[in-house]
Amino acid sequence: MKKITYFGHACFELNWNGKSIVFDPFIRGNSLAKDVNVKNIMPHLLLLSHAHSDHVADAVEIALQSNAECIAVFEICSWLQNQGVTNFHPTNIGGKLKRDELTIVHTPALHSSSFDDGTYGGIAGGFVIKSERESIYFAGDTALFSDLKLIGEMHQPQWAILPIGGNFTMDVDDAIVAAKWLGVKQVIGMHFDTFGYIQIDHQHAIEKFKSQGIELHLLNIGEMKELD
């Protein structure tokens, strides 16, 4: 059984095949996630798509308290190491890791990546999580780009976690195109409402996806959903 919990913005916890995987922790800096207790987040794996603070702000604390294996590009792993994190595995676009019954594939994204001080954060990416029969795609922050067709062809995800807020990433309309290129009928939205730049009309977004035969799930912060 797969289940996913939303912690706000682009932060999710995926529980699958006995593994807890957390993506892009940005909690304490997100006023919408004020009821989420960072100290209770104890994943086995911590996946970081890029270096922007709204994706790595709580990464060091979670890594240290949980001893989760951090998977990210080399530049982010070096940043973690400089802050005392010792359990990490650097990868890059196209890299594949086997972790028990799951395979993690580091996929491209079309986005910038830098740390708060302006230093280079490596290339931005996303991740496909795969078992023998199923896969889930976490896009990270990205614009619409044609490699999404290749990701769909190669990995055939059943679920995609896509940014929909626009301005910094895809908006709703572009995410619908992305879902079609990926071949998914089930989309979980992320990267919306956190800032004024990326606020959306929830019902309008859901209806737009539905008109194209795709179900958009907008989870409440703290909500857990089983992925059938």
Has residue 228 got a pLDDT over 90? no
Has residue 1 got a pLDDT over 90? no
Q: Which ranges constitute the DSSP H helices of 41-185?
A: 53-56, 59-66, 74-82, 147-155, 172-182
In Å, how far are 24, 83, 126 from 56, measured between CA atoms? 6, 13, 14
pLDDT of residue 227: 96
CB 174 within 8 A of CB 163: no
pLDDT tens-digit map of 113-128: 999 999 999 999 999 9
In the chain, pLDDT over 90 holds for what percent of residues? 99
Of 62, 92, 65, residue with least CA distance to 76 = 92
Query: How do the domains of the chain map onto residue ranges?
Result: 2-227
pLDDT of residue 175: 99
| pTM of the model as a whole | 0.98
Q: Name the CATH topology of 2-227.
A: Metallo-beta-lactamase; Chain A (3.60.15)
Has residue 62 got a pLDDT over 90? yes
CA atoms within 13 A on the CB side of 210: 8
